[in-house]
Structure formats: structure tokens, C-alpha cells
Amino acid sequence: MYFTPVCTTEMIAFTRAHTYFKELNTQLLGLSIDSNSSHLAWMYDIYCKTGIKISFPIIADRNGQIARKYGMIANDISSTETVRNVFIIDDKGVVRTILIYPMNIGRFIPEIIRIVQALQMADCSNGSTAANWMPNQPIIISPPKTFATLQERNKEIEKNENGISWYLSFQNPSPKCIKETKKEK
């Protein structure tokens, strides 16, 4: 819904962060069940009041077909109002993350950026990221698949103090992965 306070703050925040998303090879895309005319009037109002030009496309999904396919309409609340969703979809078209916010809570852009960074790092390094992981922090090494490698892992942990057990150990991300997650296409 346009001309609403929370949506307006989100559009401004996403526009301000658009450069960060571009640096992560990520394209922002808005989706609304409102008409294109409503989008234009709302974007123009934001521009007139703030000087900010919304920097990414917004799709008019008038019949809600896309919103329904992605489960964005909460039928127990309304048959037409969407909930605040964020979908992080990779370059192969796979939905990797779905965040759902209540209508009265705005999205937290730094966390969305961090999730994109974590997905890219995990993919590049074939590892995982820990709770509260931030860029340039160690990644979790995949657990060993054999007893022999389990024993080797335990020796490595003892020597390097880089984990708590064979199933949870860490390594610094490779420079290649750090560079990959920052590269512009």
C-alpha cells in the first residue's frame, strides 16, 4: 500500500542503501498490488518531499498473482493486503531467504545486506556462517566425513585453537572469497 508511513521509510532506506546492494551484485526490485499510476504518484511525492529518487523498479501486481505465488498475502488478515516480505533470490532463481515483517514494523536494511553477504561467503567458501556472523569473520568449516579426518580435525583444533570440537571449527575466509563477495559485475 502506498502513501503509508512505514512503506515510505522503507523505500527511502532501500534507495539510500542501493549502492551497497549493487556492490554485492544484488538487484533490488519492489512488488506491489497497487497500480503503476499509484507507484508513480507515490514516488513523485517522496521526491517532492525529500529530494530522493527511488532507484529501483517497482512491479505493479494488480491482480496479486505474483504475491499469491510467493505466499505474500495473509488470507487470515486480508485477501488483498500483502505482508512485508523480503525474498533473497540467487542468480539461479532459487529463493534462499524469506523474511516476513508485520505490517507495522519496517525492514532492517543492514540485516538484509548481512544476509546477502553471508550467503555469498558461504557459497564461495563451501562453508557456513555462525550466529551473528559479520563480513571478514571466520567461517565454519564443513564437518569431516570420515573418522580419520575427524581425528585430523581434532589435532588441528588443538594446535590452532580454531574450534570447539570436530564438528565445529573455523577458518578465515580466503582472500578470493572476500574479493568475490565485493566484486561488481
Catalytic residues: 7
Cα–Cα distance between 136 and 81 in angstroms, integer? Answer: 39
Nearest 10 degrees: Cα torsion 58, 59, 63, 69:
-110
Q: Are strands 30-32 and 58-60 parallel, antiparallel or unpaired?
A: parallel
Residue 177 — left, alpha, or beta (φ > 0 → left; ψ -120 to 50 → alpha)? alpha
